[in-house]
A and B are shown apart, each in its own frame.
Chain A
Amino acid sequence: MSAETNEVSSRALLSSDASNRSALERSHLDLETAEKPYLDSNELIINMGPQHPATHGVLRVILKLDGERVLGTECVIGYLHRGVEKIAENRTYTMFNPYVDRMDYCAAVSNGLGYCEAVEKLLNVVAPPRAQYIRVILTELNRIASHQLWLGTHALDIGAMTPLFYTFRDREEILKIFEKYCGARLTTHAFRIGGCQYETYAGFEKDVNNFLTFFAPKIDEYETLLTTNRIWLERTKNVGVISGADAIALGVTGPVLRASGVKWDLRKAQPYAAYSEFDFEIPVGTNGDTYDRYLVRMEEMRQSMRIIEQAVSRIPEGAIMGKVPKVIKPPVGEIYHSIEAPKGELGYFIVSDGSTQPYRLRVRPPSFVNLQALDVMVRGLLVADVVAVIGTIDIVLGEVDR
């Protein structure tokens, strides 16, 4: 995308003169014109973002519009790029651990879990059962928190202001538990390679159980506001549809994939941590539209509560740290380990050259991959739907750009 396109004034874009055409060609918008507009109207190119209330950060979407109908999109990313993967090459394995929290800052615990497990796999270390359980409890709490944040912002994008405040009120309870456990609310750095740094505080189980009883009616409250709301149904049903085959082809994972009817959840498909010991369902949608993604995530919150309930009641006693050497020097080799983060498959590919620092670390972030599906989902829809679809993909730009 050339800089000129930004500066083309609206009148020039509305017109069909040569400067407009060339600006269009200079951009990388190789979007075929789906159907020639019946009346000889001109296309409108607008920048949505990077400063825009509904792009969840600094995503920039270049929209090619016919009136309000979207002919094509191009996502421009990198406004939040911090070079996390490069940083990893200059840090020891332990030192890099807090950095992963800053990728998907809404689900920092999941990021940490994925990284720690990947390094543990590389080291051939297994975290003790108690640590596994603590990990599951915190990760599932974090999944709920992430989904709450998603629900609030997604509803706000569609115009419902109020759910945002309700979800933030309830998310606060989870953050309080995090704070009590490890001192941080958002970028928790809760886990260490080989287990957990901290033992649970006195009253941890009680706090978690209190949260579960507190939160169960709150999900119903959210659903009362939205699930059968006519406007919500009209705004989300058959909007941003993606078929299961398309979703798989694009590498889409997480709730977006499951809403399209593909029953793929890494917690069941390749269980990690202690997930194989719990009884829970994987909610699956049928239409692959925004409404199904909403339903899937709402149900996932309930399932997460089920998992937490089981984990808290069965949490074993014992050590919380496995046998990890003082200096972490994994053997030469490479490993790919992925977990089911709230947004989808979060994978870490680590190449070790036997030193204390990774030779190469590559993250497979769910947001980045899922964002690819935006163009497929929004073609032919309206501007208002673009906002809804960006919301429903549930991206975090910290993770997209890394």
Chain B
Amino acid sequence: MNPALNSALSINSGMAPVATPWFFYALAGMAVLSGVFVITRRNAVHAALALIITLLSVAGLYLMLYAPFVAGVQIIVYAGGIMVLFLFVIMLVNIERSSKERAFNRMWPVGLAAAGALMVLFASAIVKGSHINDMFRDRLMPLPESTNTQQIASLLYGEAGRMGQYTFAFEIASLLLLVAILGAVIMTKKKI
């Protein structure tokens, strides 16, 4: 490929945001808005649909952060797998009764306080990190899209001949999940 063409075609070479800030605000706005719908909709199916939109928007944000693998896994596992099961269960629930019940119970001030505290925490982290003591600077990873998946793999499983940093934790987690699956099967099955 000739270099002149390359520069003519691409908007930016090197490391640049995948998309314009407009995309970020659109996705973030969608995620927040549909997140609000998730907890305010009385109809459980509507809430589940809103949750799917939230998850997809977050997947879009991951894509913008050069984490396509996480975005893909988010779509497959959450939007594709878990939400289908959610809907599966919701459809068997008595919708009419649940829609008559109050969407919020008396614990809502507690929840509000917890959410507020979390927001303060995030805000302070962002404010502090941005100037005074460079909280995140040495943690800032280079984010080349092409090697992101490989980096995740080498963190988990290691490079050639070397154990990965998180191999053990990863395997433990998968074992735990296996136990959970078996438990679920045994609990729901009358006879095996």
Contacts and interface: CB of A to CB of B under 8 A. Distances in A.
A345 to B, nearest CB: 42
A15 B188 contact: no
A16 B188 CA distance: 21
B97 A14 contact: no
A11 interface: yes
What interface size band does chain B fall in?
under 10
Contact of B95 (A11, A38, A39): A11
Nearest to B97: A15
Given A38-B190, A39-B188, A15 B96 contact: yes
A41 interface: yes
A110 B188 CA distance: 53
A14 B190 CA distance: 23
B94 interface: yes
Contacts of A11: 94-96
Contacts of B95: 11
Interface in B116-166: none
B180 to A, nearest CB: 18
Interface string B13-54: 000000000000000000000000000000000000000000
B9 interface: no
A17 B97 CA distance: 10
B5 interface: no
Interface string B167-192: 00000000000000000000010100
Contacts, number: 16
Interface in A360-401: none
A16 to B, nearest CB: 7
Interface string A7-23: 00001101111000000
B92 interface: yes
Nearest to B95: A11
Interface string A34-77: 00001101000000000000000000000000000000000000
Contacts of A38: 188, 190
B105 to A, nearest CB: 22
A144 B190 CA distance: 47
Contacts of B188: 38-39
B87 to A, nearest CB: 14
A39 B188 CA distance: 8
B94 A16 contact: yes
A18 to B, nearest CB: 12
B81 to A, nearest CB: 21
A43 to B, nearest CB: 12
Interface string B88-122: 00001011110000000000000000000000000
Contacts of B96: 11-12, 15
A11 B91 CA distance: 9
A387 B95 CA distance: 30
B188 to A, nearest CB: 7
Contacts of B190: 38
Nearest to B190: A38
Contacts of B97: 15, 17
B92 A15 contact: no
Interface of B: 92, 94-97, 188, 190
Interface of A: 11-12, 14-17, 38-39, 41
15 contacts: A11-B94, A11-B95, A11-B96, A12-B96, A14-B92, A14-B94, A15-B94, A15-B96, A16-B94, A17-B94, A17-B97, A38-B188, A38-B190, A39-B188, A41-B92
